[in-house]
Structure formats: C-alpha cells, structure tokens
C-alpha cells in the first residue's frame, strides 16, 4: 500500500508514466484504477468501437448539464473506466496536433512545450508503420511502444473523398502527422495487427511485468495532504477506506473531468467554490475546473447509389461474419476503425493553419451505433477546431461518489454558429465534386431543404455532437499565473509532492483527436518527474500554406 510514485488513473497519460517511471527499475510505482480489465472483443476489435463507449462497465457515464445554447440538451461525456482509460474506448484516431498548437502553448506560459520541444517525445512514443505508403519518415518515430498504422483504404469512397477535395482546390497531404497537416489524405489509427493498440496494451501491461510496478483496483476518494504536501491517496475498495502512501510523489492522471474533481475534493481549487461545499482550502487555485474545452462535430450524410458501403454488414448475419473473420484472422472490416481518410482545412483566408477537421466514413451511422434507415450511405464528421467557447467542471457535492457538474457552454460565441454553417456548406461542396458523381444519392442529413442560416442553425442546435475531446481544466502555465494549475514541470502550483499530467493541462485544445497529445504529455511529464534533462529540441518548420493570407485553399 505504498510506492515511490502513486499514479491516479491507468489511462492514456497514466499508463505512459507507469511505463517510464518504472523503466529503470530504481523506483516503485503503483497505479490506482477504478475500472477493470480490457479483455474481450468489444474493446480489442477496432470495428466494434461504438460498443465500449456506450457500456457502463467501461465508461464513467457522465453527461453535461443542460447546454443553454443547444436548447437544453445534455450531451454524453464518456470517459474510460478501464485499464487504458479512454484509449480503450475511443475511436483510435491518431493525430498529434498542429505544430502551431504547441507553439501557442509555449507562448501562453507552458515554457518548454513548443513543437520543437514536444516533437522528440512524439517520436519516442511512436512505432510508425506507414512509411511504405509515403509520409514524412524523418518526422516520425520507429521504435516506440505505441503502434500507429493506416487502414487498407480498400473502399473506393476513401479515395473519392480525397479526390473530391483536390477537385475543390484544396491541398493533399501524404502525412498530416508530419510536415504538412493541411489537406486531404489517409487517416492514422492506433491499431496493430488488427487489434486496438490502447495505452494498456502499449505501456501498462509491459510495465506491470516489472517487479517494481503494480496496479491496484480501487476508487480514489481524495489526495492526502499534510502541511501543504501530498503524502498519499485515500481510496475505497471492498467497502473499506484505506490510505496508499507515496514516498516521493502523487501523480494525478484521472482525465480532464476527474482530475479537477479530485483536486477540489482535496482542497485545491477556487476557494469560494470549495467553501460552498464545506471543503477546507489547502491551495486557492481559481483555475481548477475552468477553461474546459471540447470539439463539436456534425455528421453530414449522403446516400450512396452503389451497394459498396459498410451498410452491407449492418444486420445480424453481417455483424456475425465480420466478428468471426476478426476473431479468427484479425482481419476484415473489424480490423479497422473505418476512419481511413481525413482532411484538415482552413475555414477562410487569413487563418494561418487548419481550423476544420474531417473524418470520412463509408457508412451513414451515428456514434451510438444507430444506422441511417436509408441504407447505403457515407458521411463526413466535420467541425471547427478552435472555438472560443469555454466551460467548467465543478463539484456537485463534497461526496466523492457524486459525478461532477460538467458545463461545456458549447456554441456560446456567435462565430461558433458561422463556423458550423461554413462547415456544412463546405461539405456539400466537397460531396458535390465530380469524384462522387458515380456514388452520390440524395443528401440524408441535413437534407437538401435545409439551406438558410436559420435552418442550418436549427439543424446544428439539434444535431451537433461532442467529438469527446474534453481538455484544459487544470491548465499549464507560469507559476505566477493565477489561473494556471500546474507549472511547466506539471507540478501542481501551491502544493508540494503533487503532479498532474493528462489532457487537463492543455492550455488550449489541439487540432484533431486528443489521444496522441495526452500520451505525449505523459511521456514528457515522466522526464520532469524523474529530473531527467528533456530530450534535445528539434527545430523543424511545419508547412504553412503560402496563400494563407488570401485564400482558404
């Protein structure tokens, strides 16, 4: 019940830290995780991704408060409650983020986290398998624990999407995780040999083979603080409340929802809010739980005139066939998340780097697994990347068992609406290109009748969904910044012996899916915790569209 380093959360950052902190064998590491095993086909089979996200067994099951700008809708906020955390229930899409995202972090006080600083950590974590399909080999890592691959892209619709983008005058890119993010091209996934390559598979299971690393299944109640120092963690298991002691440091990696909740329950957070709940204030950090950000997206769906989409498997027999093929060969449609083509675009002239993301999918289906009744179709998930809307995570009560209050405050800025209307019209322009002529049926969603700003706004209000990328609630910044929660070494400001490293620390949301940057944060934080010098910086210049000031393409 004691270790040098006690890590709260076996998720994307936590598993990476468990691996790195136990690697040299000198320190004992204990990982605390509320969830259970990730064995079983629903998690391990990439094509089954809509299942674990909707299973109470693997998900904390959080929902937002009624969102005031979305007609009071409460949006699902899944977070992984299983080894591997959200990397075990996510869509497995691998996106580093744009170089300029990290330069912005550094400019906003996260010194040492510019792209030149973080690129070596991306290389260290990656085992990249797409070199033979083109891509930027010198920007990528070849021997890290995290396998990154690409789908087979056998379906002609994946190529039609990229071709249509080109026909519309946009860039193409061989590797959006390399020098050039902007453009249409292949999408990358954390899948290896047909299996989901979560951080449990990549990092945690290898770490647990070491004698100095252990995993404890328990519910964490709060962090034990004595004289301004974190000395351990109060846990509950089998109905008993116990204490786990940290000889060196307590490390919080419980997600952008649960990490701020834990800090607040432990007396670290906005003093007035803690006092409301009768919690003694150890460190008044007004930024804890604030600065909540996420990506929203719409599914723009088009009927397909040829029976080539995944809808052909959308019946009991088809699903059994796909499942059996995957079980016995780790191949077939079940071996991919089916997000195999992507695009990162700029919304208008004067935007320096992409602020719109596309996932393309050769079926018309919702994330909860409800297929469009129309039958064969395809869809683009599209949304803006850098909304200025900000929300918060706050306590509902001082009871650790109570879910926190999550209010994203989605679509609270006028430009959010203009950005989304542009995304819809842009998608229609892409689907209207010659490349889709032989496949294009009617528009399923929003539907050809939905055209005016008002009609589009109504559609957005009713149908916009979270892309499940919450972050920013314990933002990293300068130690003298009153709204920063951790300093650039991931130390919680105002408390000794306590670090925090997960997507909570992002000063601003990055482009694309957040799993890769969350793992990178765990990798880099490990070096800070061990007192190692950071990896040598790599000054490389990302590709910026030479026409960015005058054109969107």
Shortest CA distance to 356 belongs to which of 348, 367, 365?
A: 348
Please give the Cα distance from 498 to 232 (Å, whole number): 10
Q: Cis omega before residue 446 (within 30°)?
A: yes
* Tokens 């769906």 sit on residue: 301
Please give the Cα distance from 101 to 517 (Å, whole number): 11
The answer for residues whose C-beta is within 8 angstroms of residue 209's C-beta and 6 or more apart is none
Please give the Cα distance from 528 to 300 (Å, whole number): 43
For the stretch 413-433, what's the b/e string if a residue is b when 16 or more beta carbons lie within 10 angstroms of its beta carbon?
eeebbebbbbbbebbeebbbb
Measured N-to-C along each axis, helices 515-529 and 115-125 cross at an angle, to the nearest 10 degrees, of: 100
Q: Are strands 2-8 and 240-252 parallel, antiparallel or unpaired?
A: parallel
Question: Which segments are annotated as binding site for FAD?
Answer: 4-33, 82, 90-93, 220
Grouping H, G, I as helix, E, B as strand and the rest as coil, residue 329 is helix
Helical (H) or strand (E) element with 416: helix 414-431
Shortest CA distance to 121 belongs to which of 87, 101, 98, 96?
A: 96
Asked if 207 and 221 count as a contact pair (C-beta separation under 8 A), the reply is no
273 counts as catalytic: no
Please give the Cα distance from 534 to 392 (Å, whole number): 32
Question: Which segments are annotated as binding site?
Answer: 4-33, 82, 90-93, 220
Residue tagged active-site, from 159, 422, 469, 528 = 469
Residues that are catalytic: 469
């Amino acid at each position: 019940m004691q270790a040098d380093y006690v890590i709260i959360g076996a998720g994307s950052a936590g598993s990476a830290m468990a691996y790195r902190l136990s690697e040299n064998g000198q320190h004992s590491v204990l990982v605390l995780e509320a969830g259970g095993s990730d064995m079983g086909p629903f998690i391990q089979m990439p094509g089954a991704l809509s299942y674990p996200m909707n299973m109470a067994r693997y998900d904390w099951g959080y929902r937002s408060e009624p969102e005031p700008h979305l007609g009071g809708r409460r949006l699902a906020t899944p977070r992984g409650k299983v080894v591997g955390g959200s990397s075990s229930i996510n869509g497995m899409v691998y996106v580093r983020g744009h170089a300029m995202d990290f330069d912005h972090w550094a400019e906003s006080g996260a010194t040492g986290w510019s792209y030149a600083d973080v690129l070596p950590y991306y290389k260290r974590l990656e085992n990249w398998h797409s070199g033979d399909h083109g891509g930027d080999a010198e920007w990528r890592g070849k021997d890290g624990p995290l396998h990154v691959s690409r789908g087979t892209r056998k379906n002609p619709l994946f190529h039609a999407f990229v071709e249509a983008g080109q026909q519309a005058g946009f860039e193409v890119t061989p590797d959006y995780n390399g020098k050039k993010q902007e453009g249409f091209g292949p999408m990358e996934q954390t899948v290896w040999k047909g299996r989901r390559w979560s951080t449990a598979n990549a990092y945690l299971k290898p770490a647990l083979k070491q004698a100095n690393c252990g995993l404890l299944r328990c519910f964490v109640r709060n962090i034990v603080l004595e004289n301004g120092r974190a000395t351990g963690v109060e846990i509950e298991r089998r109905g008993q409340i116990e204490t786990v002691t940290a000889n060196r440091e307590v490390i919080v990696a419980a997600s952008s929802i649960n990490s701020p909740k834990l800090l607040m329950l432990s007396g670290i957070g906005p003093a007035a809010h803690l006092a409301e709940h009768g919690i003694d204030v150890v460190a008044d950090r007004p930024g804890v739980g604030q600065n909540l950000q996420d990506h929203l997206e719409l599914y723009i769906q088009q009927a397909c005139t040829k029976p080539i989409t995944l809808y052909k498997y959308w019946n009991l027999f088809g699903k059994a066939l796909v499942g059996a093929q995957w079980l016995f060969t780790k191949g077939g449609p079940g071996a991919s998340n089916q997000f195999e083509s992507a695009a990162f675009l700029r919304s208008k002239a004067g935007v320096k780097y992409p602020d719109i993301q596309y996932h393309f999918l050769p079926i018309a289906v919702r994330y909860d697994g409800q297929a469009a009744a129309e039958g064969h179709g395809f869809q683009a998930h599209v949304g803006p990347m850098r909304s200025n809307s900000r929300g918060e995570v706050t306590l509902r009560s001082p009871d650790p068992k109570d879910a926190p209050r999550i209010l994203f405050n989605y679509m609270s800025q006028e430009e959010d609406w203009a950005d989304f209307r542009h995304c819809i019209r842009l998608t229609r322009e892409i689907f209207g290109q010659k490349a889709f002529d032989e496949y294009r049926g009617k528009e399923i969603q929003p539907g050809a009748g939905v055209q005016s700003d008002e009609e589009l706004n109504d559609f957005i209000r009713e149908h916009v969904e979270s892309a499940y990328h919450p972050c920013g609630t314990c933002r990293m910044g300068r130690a003298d910044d009153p709204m920063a929660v951790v300093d650039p070494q991931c130390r919680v400001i105002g408390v000794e012996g306590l670090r925090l490293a997960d997507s909570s620390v992002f000063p601003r949301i990055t482009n694309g899916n957040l799993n890769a940057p969350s793992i990178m944060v765990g990798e880099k934080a490990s070096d800070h915790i061990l007192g190692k010098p950071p990896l040598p910086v790599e000054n490389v210049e990302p590709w910026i569209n030479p026409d960015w000031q005058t054109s969107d393409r």
